[in-house]
Amino acid sequence: MLSFNEPFFQGHFPGKPIFPGVLILEAMAQATGILAFKSVGKLEPGELYYFAAIDGARFKRPVLPGDQMVLEVEFIKERRGVARFKGVAKVDGEIACEAEMMCARRREV
């Protein structure tokens, strides 16, 4: 549950607090990274999954203080070390945000 006491609510926006869209995308990106690590092939020593892209992000409804946001991430496909996922953030079963995200399996730099 998102508490009104979170510092980002104070300035986004005064008098009408809304959970910042960039933080919704960040949460979805982190969930994508975990799913990539757990499900898309074994990493070789010295490899990492790097977050590579967000495509088609759409915000359908605001996420407000007191809301419980649920993330769903689904693997779509992998080609040449780049995995594509579909992510959805929901509040009360209603889509708040959706996007496609990509992770790239690459050697550590």
Q: Which residues have a catalytic role annotated? A: 12
State residue 38 phi and psi, 5-degree precision. -85, -20
List helix spans (H) across the chain: 8-11, 21-39
The neighbour count for residue 63, using CB atoms within 10 Å, is 22
